Amino acid sequence: MSGEFEGYERKYCHLSAKLSKACIEAGAINGELKKQKVSEIKEGIEEAEVMIRKMDLEARSFQSDFKAVLLAKVREYKADLNNIKREMKKIVSGVLNPSARDELLESNMANVMKASADHRERLMTSTQRLNKSSDEIKDSRRTMLETEDLGVMILQDLHSQRQALLHAHDTLHGVDDNVGKSKKILSNISTMMNRNKWIFSTVVVVLIVVITLILYFKLS
């Protein structure tokens, strides 16, 4: 997962827990303290919105498979922040309508704590599920890269074998050329031997005739 996304995620989760606690505290006080706490909650919500926007931009910079996992996380965080905004609105309405403060405090204190705890649990479960999906995607990407590396190695081996076959073909072609030259040389030698044989035979016949003539004239 992106280091920047994880950094934004940690900051948001810290802000979310802080805002939920602030909502509970704001419901238990009144007057200027309550207004000050509401102001702090609003500032925290604005900061949380900035974190969510940053996470959204970071998530959209990834490829489709991994991007879908991160965007699902962003949607969970947006829903979490919307719940906090609703609780803040209830508190603000209590500030503007003091006559309803006791009723709001009594009815919402337990609800806020229960909703916050339930949502934290759902958020944690969802995050764990998304992290598991993210790990599975990373495993799939790693397997795909390993398969791609294996394919590259096979192609390289095939290329090496092709080069070896081409070299062997060139060697055989050279041998064929040498054999052809050898045949031509042997053919020339055979022709010269045959010609020398006829010359030798002719010389022998001439010598025999000359010797015969010499002997004939001497005896006569």
What digits encode the pLDDT tens for the residues 173-206? Answer: 776 777 778 788 888 888 888 888 888 888 888 8
Domain map of the chain by residue range?
A: 1-98
Continuous H helices in the chain: 3-27, 31-59, 64-96, 101-219
User: What is the predicted pLDDT for the residue at 117?
Assistant: 59
User: What is the predicted pLDDT for the residue at 96?
Assistant: 44
- CA–CA gap between residue 66 and residue 77 (Å, rounded): 17
Range among 1-15, 105-119, 163-177 rated most confident: 1-15
Please report which confidence band the pLDDT of residue 43 belongs to, taking 50, 70 and 90 as the band edges.
Answer: very high
- Mean residue pLDDT of the chain comes to 80
Sequence-distant (≥ 6) Cβ neighbours of residue 48 within 8 angstroms: 12, 15, 16, 19, 81, 84
Q: Is the whole model's pTM more than 0.75, yes or no?
A: no
Sequence-distant (≥ 6) Cβ neighbours of residue 220 within 8 angstroms: none
Which comes out higher in pLDDT, residue 131 or 66?
Answer: 66
Other Cβ atoms within 10 Å of 112 Cβ, number? 22
Nearest to 4, CA basis, from 70, 63, 75: 70
Q: Answer for the pair 20, 84: CB distance below 8 angstroms, yes or no.
A: yes
User: What is the predicted pLDDT for the residue at 83?
Assistant: 95
Sequence-distant (≥ 6) Cβ neighbours of residue 22 within 8 angstroms: 37, 40, 41, 44
- Label residue 31 left, alpha or beta by phi (over 0 means left) and psi (-120 to 50 means alpha): left
Assign domain 1-98 one CATH number from 1.10.645.10, 3.30.1540.20, 1.20.58.400, 3.40.50.880: 1.20.58.400
Task: Kindly state the tokens that stand for 42.
Answer: 């609003």
pLDDT at 147 over 50: yes
User: What is the predicted pLDDT for the residue at 70?
Assistant: 92
User: What is the predicted pLDDT for the residue at 16?
Assistant: 94
Q: What is the mean pLDDT of residues 33-37?
A: 89
User: What is the predicted pLDDT for the residue at 98?
Assistant: 52
Contacts 24+ apart (CB under 8 A), 192-195: none
Burial of 43 (C-beta count, 10 Å sphere; 0-12/13-18/19+):
exposed
